[in-house]
Structure 1
Amino acid sequence: MNHQELGIKILELVGGEENVQSVIHCMTRLRFNLRDNNKVKRSELENLDGVMGTNISGSQFQIIIGNDVPKVYKEIIKNSNLNEDSNNGEKSGGRNVISAIFDVISGVFTPILPAIAGAGMIKGILAILSTFGWLDPASQTYIILNAIGDGAFYFLPILLAVSSARKFGSNPYIAATIAAAILHPTLTALFSAGEPVKFIGLPVIAAVYSSTVIPIILAIWIASHVEKFVDKFTHNSLKLIVVPTLTILFVVPVTLMTVGPLGVVFGDYLSSGLSFLFSDYGFIAMVLLAGTFSLIIMTGMHYALVPIMINNLTVKGIDYLMPAMFLANMGQAGAAFAVFLKSKNKKFKSLSLTVSITALMGITEPAMYGVNVRLKKPFAGALLGAAVGGLYYAFTGVAAYILGGSAGLPGVTSFIGPTFVHALIGLAVAFFAATIISYLLGFEDIPEENKEEMKADVAANLPVAEGDSVLISPVKGEVVKLSEVSDPTFSSEVMGEGIAIRPHDGKIVSPVNGVVTTLFRTKHAIGITSEEGAEILIHVGIDTVKLEGKHFEALIQQGDSVVVGQPLLEVDIDAIKQEGFDTVTPVIITNTTSFTKVDKTNLATVTHKDVLLRLEAENLNKSAV
């Protein structure tokens, strides 16, 4: 499935465009705010080729894609009326306060992560050049490079203002103007002079807003309400002038006198509290945080910690949360590497190595969902390996000093400082500890599907006369004459001759070697063309098209080559019965006229090893497939 097909299919399975309030993406996930999460066909989404898993965090529905998420996101926007700048309608209610806060933080910080990551990487490279004496900090080159790397952080309130405005549904340019005002050098100089400051007789609390996080988010939240209020009572002919003027005039002074200083104070206390926790209880804190950080990543809430990391670096100059994230990623990489070493499945072995390398680079979802969570025990090994790395970091006092580009090997510049060497050693400890633990814990390997062996195994039990074509039963169950099927389309044989089976279980396998020529969107029916040219329709149940794919799981895709006995569908037969549908499954030869004879089994019940139909045709086109 290409990116366009995947994007269109995802939009369909989340309930359609009309169910989407907004959609953004981070490094690996599509993040949907939906009107009704119950409309999502989650199992079908998770079975799409290109989707690694799904998750609900608060009220946000997340789809894990991996490195291709920007391309899939682009196709969703391109093939819908959704856009990056505004919500598709109002928010639905029903969320608790904590979920709403996390949703806001995630929505505000996700769009600006590329800018922060790029600027952080530049600062890291500059730190290396300076540390090794390759660039003089007093040189003009250093000063220019430092401005390039530091610009995004110094003017972070402006970036946050734009993304906050988009999240709150207000004008991003008015928001940027508010941020620019509180960062104006004249105001900064006024607050730094040490003298009391007043505005129209009211006291203004001096504070420095460069690189801050909380004040501007609070300010733009207020601005969004003010802007909407003023807009509501302003005539259309005056909106262009009146709305921005009154919004800016009200919000900037209020920010300087109230929410701005409160946000700065809150940030200071938050940073001091974390410093106290890690300085006095660092042994326990780092081990627990590193060992459980992958669980935080699974919920997608690790982005909610980004503002805390930035605040720690700007207030105290060090951060302990980021090192834990690094260790968690190394643990996932090590566990996937253990699977690579131990798995006997060549395809899965290759996948494990690939996602291990990706996790080392800081993108862990492919390793986490594609390998470790899937096998279960390696995921436990990843958590334990990260905790071992946390133990080493706790003893050596490792901290981050720069916000790097990623929590992987390219972002190790984050650790440039007094504990840099110990930081690198700790990453290796987490990786190899996770590898060893996962290897020793073991796992139930993914069996390697050998189609040639499967074909030979079935063929050995099916003596076929020259010129004949046989179909094994795709379903275990009770044989039913086609004339006894309740649907006249089948019973009248207008679609072709065949036979039906009343299933004993929901495993549907291929009756022949051939190609899947049709897979219905609802998965209730499959068309296969055999190597001998027989065109076969397997229709699971009567009128089951009305289930819209519910209770059906496709194990193949249209266009796939299949061999006799290969699983095609997993069907919840009991659930279909409870829905009131007849589960009898016709197997029809739709090109019956191409054959001189269609022999049907005399067995009362059949298994996947029994011949269901035998076809004879003197002029059969054997090059049809």
Structure 2
Amino acid sequence: MRPSPDEPRADTPPATAAALLPLVGGPANVTSVAHCMTRLRLGLADPSLVDEERVRALPAVLGVVSDDTYQVVLGPGVVGRVTAAFEELLAAKSAEKEDGTAARLAARGAELKAERGRRNATPLKLALRRVANIFVPLIPALIGCGVLAGVNGLLVNAGWLPGLTPALAAIASGFMALIAVFVGHNTAKEFGGTPVLGGAVAAVVVYPGVAKVTAFGLALSPGQGGVLGALGAALLGTYVEKWCHRHVPPTLDVLLTPALTVLIAGLATLYGLMYVAGEISTAIGTAADWLLSTTGAFAGLVLGGLFLPLVMLGLHQALIPIHTTLIEQQGYTVLLPVLAMAGAGQVGAATAVYVRRRHDTSLRTTIRSALPAGLLGVGEPLIYGVSLPLGRPFLTACAGGAAGGAFIGFFAMLGHQVGATAIGPSGWALFPLLAGSESLLTTTAIYAGGLATGYAVGFAATWAFGGLGGPDEDEDEETDAGRLSDPCRSPVTSARTDGA
């Protein structure tokens, strides 16, 4: 029976939201709604009420991830529209009066959520989540300013619009000059302090007047210690502020607590943290340069090959401060282009699956919808919709990433470093942000060569070792092909991940 023209398509955002809500336990089971670049993140009172098999079967759903929130992978662009429709639907349903069953469900769900939170609250996971909460909100500004810096560099090199380039340089550099303040603000917010006090303490790091201060017999320089110094200063300020709230009389709290917080944390920053953080930052830059210039091909092989598993475990978040530190020091991070090769390997693997499994209509539809995002560096749709459910193609995608990383690392050994002026994008989206030790043309050519290598090796490895069978085999699509294309039936997807 053909649907009426007035009925919404099954894969439109309103239809997806309407179909999804009852499958996650209904309005009473949803405690929070948010989204990132590719995922709808739902807080659920009782996760056991989710009909996961039917959620995965929705046309717009590329995969699901169970963590501290229930995450539905929808892909870039789509996720924002589905989230808005989902929130509107929840708002409409909230007018309905909850009965005693819903109240009991909420109480039971709160207990289950607390238990799950305790189970997942390992020190490493908590630390990585807090690092992400501090730095991830800064990524849009890093991307925007990085793109403008790249455009300005092109204009300067070409000698075009000389009257405009100083303005572009100021716009592109302003955020980076004050990034320590934003890091301090987010650090205090994350650790329960007053955000503006965290920003005030961190501002000491970039204040030009610190050049008149001598610590350890050496004059300080503005920006010394960078984001690491700002993070440490704001964290110390938060602990000082909390101590003051506990011990300062209430009548004096509003005056003494802010003053003591800024004074004590500021002095500790000037006479200790800036120097220590500066040494650490310098060591990070030196180590990254040494790693690629000395062991470049091997380092690229390891980094490019392991990045997808790091994303699956959530450990990639630990690299965000390192990228930011390198951008502060050198103007670009040499690690991101190498790590971006993991996405290239995954694109190559997905393409091989698409060609090899030509009878699997469902799987090919998923790949067609996810591949454009993969080319632009958004890998989650391909991870959760294709490579991870199939199993072996996830490993062959890692092989493609390792080959692409080795390609870029090899040229780094020859002195041709490739870097990115901002973090966030990869794939083709990284081209406007490229910078390096050579001309832009050379840097672009090396990066493009790495992508091509990742695509080719990912494709070839998946074709040969992906366990996909022959392209002309008349398989029973309702059994083997269906099992491979349906993430619900794959044992691989039952493994927990921490999200990307």
Q: Report the TM-score range of the alignment, normalised by the length of the smaller protein.
A: 0.7 to 0.9
Say yes or no: does 1:293 pair with 2:318: no
Q: Please tell me whether the aligned partners of residues 396 and 465 of structure 2 are also in contact (alpha carbons under 8 angstroms).
A: yes
Q: Please tell me whether the aligned partners of residues 42 and 54 of structure 1 are also in contact (alpha carbons under 8 angstroms).
A: no
Q: How far off its partner does 1:92 sit?
A: 5.4
Q: Please tell me whether the aligned partners of residues 204 and 256 of structure 1 are also in contact (alpha carbons under 8 angstroms).
A: no
Say yes or no: does 1:170 pair with 2:180: no
Q: Which residue of 2 aligns with 1:150?
A: 173
Select the structure with the greater relative contact order (CA < 8 A; seq sep ≥ 6): 2
In the TM superposition, 1:43-192 aligns within 5 A as: 44-45=51-52, 48=55, 49=58, 50=61, 52-54=63-65, 56=67, 64-67=73-76, 68-70=78-80, 95-131=121-157, 133-135=158-160, 139-187=162-210, 189-190=211-212
- Shift of the 383–170 alpha-carbon distance from structure 1 to 2, 3 Å rule, reads same
Question: 1:14 and 1:225 mapped to 2: Cα distance?
Answer: 39
- Alpha-carbon deviations, 1:389-416, whole Å to 9, x = none? 1232222224215225511212123333
User: What amino acid sits opposite 1:303 in the alignment?
Assistant: Q
Q: Secondary structure at the match of 1:281?
A: helix
Say yes or no: does 1:407 pair with 2:434: no
Q: How far off its partner does 1:427 sit?
A: 0.9
Q: How far off its partner does 1:175 sit?
A: 1.6
- Alpha-carbon deviations, 1:267-303, whole Å to 9, x = none? 2112222322222222211111111211112223323
- Shift of the 72–262 alpha-carbon distance from structure 1 to 2, 3 Å rule, reads farther
- Shift of the 348–32 alpha-carbon distance from structure 1 to 2, 3 Å rule, reads closer
Q: Please tell me whether the aligned partners of residues 178 and 252 of structure 1 are also in contact (alpha carbons under 8 angstroms).
A: yes
Question: 2:151 and 2:43 mapped to 1: Cα distance?
Answer: 37
Q: How far off its partner does 1:330 sit?
A: 1.1
Question: 1:403 and 1:218 mapped to 2: Cα distance?
Answer: 22
- Shift of the 149–261 alpha-carbon distance from structure 1 to 2, 3 Å rule, reads same
User: What amino acid sits opposite 1:152 in the alignment?
Assistant: F
Say yes or no: does 1:373 pair with 2:384: no
Q: Which residue of 1 aligns with 2:498?
A: none
- Shift of the 404–231 alpha-carbon distance from structure 1 to 2, 3 Å rule, reads closer
Question: 1:169 and 1:269 mapped to 2: Cα distance?
Answer: 30
Say yes or no: does 1:436 pair with 2:460: yes
Question: What is the alpha-carbon root mean square deviation over aligned residues?
Answer: 3.9
Q: How far off its partner does 1:352 sit?
A: 0.8
User: What amino acid sits opposite 1:163 in the alignment?
Assistant: N
Q: Which residue of 2 aligns with 1:498?
A: none
In the TM superposition, 1:229-378 aligns within 5 A as: 229-234=243-248, 236=250, 238-317=252-331, 319-342=333-356, 343-378=358-393
- Alpha-carbon deviations, 1:149-191, whole Å to 9, x = none? 222222111221222122112221222222233322333x435
- Alpha-carbon deviations, 1:409-456, whole Å to 9, x = none? 121233333233111111112112212322333544897569xxxxxx
- Alpha-carbon deviations, 1:31-83, whole Å to 9, x = none? 7899x9xx644974575243622155xx78866443244556667888699xx
* More strand by percentage: 1
Q: Please tell me whether the aligned partners of residues 14 and 41 of structure 1 are also in contact (alpha carbons under 8 angstroms).
A: no
Say yes or no: does 1:28 pair with 2:38: yes
Say yes or no: does 1:387 pair with 2:412: no
Question: 2:30 and 2:245 mapped to 1: Cα distance?
Answer: 28
Question: 1:252 and 1:7 mapped to 2: Cα distance?
Answer: 50
Structure ID, larger Rg: 1
Q: Please tell me whether the aligned partners of residues 162 and 175 of structure 1 are also in contact (alpha carbons under 8 angstroms).
A: yes
Q: Please tell me whether the aligned partners of residues 139 and 423 of structure 2 are also in contact (alpha carbons under 8 angstroms).
A: no
- Alpha-carbon deviations, 1:512-540, whole Å to 9, x = none? xxxxxxxxxxxxxxxxxxxxxxxxxxxxx
Q: How far off its partner does 1:214 sit?
A: 0.9
Q: How far off its partner does 1:13 sit?
A: 9.3
Q: How far off its partner does 1:348 sit?
A: 2.7
Q: Which residue of 2 aligns with 1:424?
A: 448
Q: Please tell me whether the aligned partners of residues 46 and 54 of structure 1 are also in contact (alpha carbons under 8 angstroms).
A: no
Q: How far off its partner does 1:358 sit?
A: 0.8
TM-score, normalized by length of structure 2?
Answer: 0.73
Instruction: Show structure 1 runs of 5+ residues with no match.
Output: 82-87, 451-554, 556-568, 571-625
TM-score, normalized by length of structure 1?
Answer: 0.60
Q: Please tell me whether the aligned partners of residues 112 and 163 of structure 1 are also in contact (alpha carbons under 8 angstroms).
A: no
Question: 1:141 and 1:227 mapped to 2: Cα distance?
Answer: 45
* More helix by percentage: 2
Question: 2:20 and 2:141 mapped to 1: Cα distance?
Answer: 25
User: What amino acid sits opposite 1:190 in the alignment?
Assistant: K
User: What amino acid sits opposite 1:130 in the alignment?
Assistant: V
Q: Which residue of 2 aligns with 1:467?
A: none
- Alpha-carbon deviations, 1:332-386, whole Å to 9, x = none? 1121122222332334323212312211101000011101112223222211112
User: What amino acid sits opposite 2:333 in the alignment?
Assistant: D
- Shift of the 45–345 alpha-carbon distance from structure 1 to 2, 3 Å rule, reads closer
